[in-house]
Amino acid sequence: MKNNPDSKELDSRYFMQAFKRNLKIVKGSGSYVWDDEGKKYLDCVAGIAVCSTGHCHPKVVEAICSQAKELIHVSNLYYVPNQGELAEKLVEISGLKGGRVFMANSGAEANEAALKLARIRTGRSKFISFKDGFHGRTCASLAVTHKPAIREPFGPLQPYCDFTDYGDLEALTELADRDTAGIFVECIQGEAGVIPAPEGFLKGIRDICDDTGALMITDEVQTGMGRTGSWFAYQNAGVNPDIVSMAKGIASGFPMGAIVAREGLSFNPGEHGSTFAGGPIACAAALATIEVIEEILPQIPEKSERFRSGLAALNPRVNGLMIGISAGEEKCPGVQQRCQEKGVLVNCAGHGNLRIVPPLTISDSEIDSAVEAINASFD
């Protein structure tokens, strides 16, 4: 009998070693996953805020399977099943009345679309983004991503982007001018460690964009789809962007992204395109996901407060079900590992910050279990 190597060995031999892994997950259900040795974990990573409705939610699974039996793919040369319905729903929940949608396969692709739309509609080529911001790893999305370790090896990058301190409206005012196509901003910096925008910061960006004609582009890839207690985090600040990008939690793990642009801001025929974007199955998964989130969205503030009170001794930054805890660069990996040993998955984001982004469907008892493990891991 042929001696077949296991998948971990195959990964080490044939897959580009771009990721650091120490766990093989083979099954998921609700808030839990199981590894290849049968150990069960409460998943507070959720694919990095992707599995918004938990793992394998019955409504999402049914939507995917039903559509797969009818049509898996059809080119965007034709009308695509579920696409128009999803576009209508995304405009509705974004609050950008009269807006239009372009769909993508990921957050980076959604941000690429936002960059292209801003450039072609303004006729400008310069962007402004913020230190510690993250918008993707494709060349254009990387150009507006600050992290030097992942950006600088691939320079020079286009489009041109200036970076300034997150929260510094005075510096932003000095940079923004009539050559600025757009200002890219995360309402909460996720990869930096769940760092919320200072009070008035998003409103200040909106005012600067109105004064200069630049477009306000909010990256809601991690914060969107109910994660912060509203459909999108900019809604908590009472502002509307010109373009909002989204992905991660939009389709419960099925690859999907999109932008919604305000009324009067749209691609013309031939200006942008994609073979796979907005396919029948992705749109079916997204529609089912939104239906589930609509049911649980009113519960997010209560769940958020349960995390806040349970982790109070650790001074958490709690924004809905997006939680950051300062642990320190040296300590954070150890805390993450101890949580894993206790059966709870969390991860370290930037600057030694522990990031907790569980499924939005997480129950009270599951929150209590997560809190107990996290507190004990810090102790």
Helix or strand (DSSP H, E) at 103: strand 100-104
Say what the pLDDT of residue 6 is. Answer: 80
Say what the pLDDT of residue 4 is. Answer: 55
**DSSP tag of 30:** B
b/e string for 165-192 if b means 16 or more Cβ within 10 A? ebbbbeebeebbeeebbbbbbbbbbbbb
Q: Point out the catalytic residue in the list 126, 219, 242, 303.
A: 219
C-alpha span between 85 and 74 (Å, rounded):
16
Q: Is 154 a catalytic residue?
A: no
pLDDT tens string, the chain, 379 residues long: the values are 344 568 888 888 899 998 888 899 999 999 999 999 999 999 999 999 999 999 999 999 999 999 999 999 999 999 999 999 999 999 999 999 999 999 999 999 999 999 999 999 999 999 999 999 999 999 999 999 999 999 999 989 999 999 999 999 999 999 999 999 999 999 999 999 999 999 999 999 999 999 999 999 999 999 999 999 999 999 999 999 999 999 999 999 999 999 999 999 999 999 999 999 999 999 999 999 999 999 999 999 999 999 999 999 999 999 999 999 999 999 999 999 999 999 999 999 999 999 999 999 999 999 999 999 999 999 8
Say what the pLDDT of residue 1 is. Answer: 38
Cis peptide preceding 269, ω within 30 of 0: no
**DSSP tag of 355:** E
State both tokens at 32: 């839990």
**DSSP tag of 257:** E
Amino acid (one-letter) located at 99: G
Say what the pLDDT of residue 310 is. Answer: 98
Helix/strand/coil for 246: strand
Q: Is 232 a catalytic residue?
A: no
Q: Point out the catalytic residue in the list 102, 127, 130, 134.
A: 134
State both tokens at 262: 């305000």
Amino acid (one-letter) located at 117: L
C-alpha span between 346 and 333 (Å, rounded):
10
Handedness of CA 202, 205, 211, 216 (dihedral sign): negative
C-alpha span between 173 and 279 (Å, rounded):
41
The answer to whether the pTM exceeds 0.75 is yes
**In contact, 259 and 243? CB cutoff 8 Å:** yes
Say what the pLDDT of residue 2 is. Answer: 47
C-alpha span between 369 and 339 (Å, rounded):
11
C-alpha span between 9 and 240 (Å, rounded):
49
* Cβ-based neighbour number of residue 257 at 10 Å: 29
Q: Based on the number of CB atoms within 10 Å of its own CB, is 86 exposed (0-12), middle (13-18) or buried (19 or more)?
A: buried
Q: Which of 106, 190, 116 is nearest to 147 (CA)?
A: 190
Helix/strand/coil for 214: coil
Q: Point out the catalytic residue in the list 201, 248, 254, 303.
A: 248
Q: Is 331 a catalytic residue?
A: no
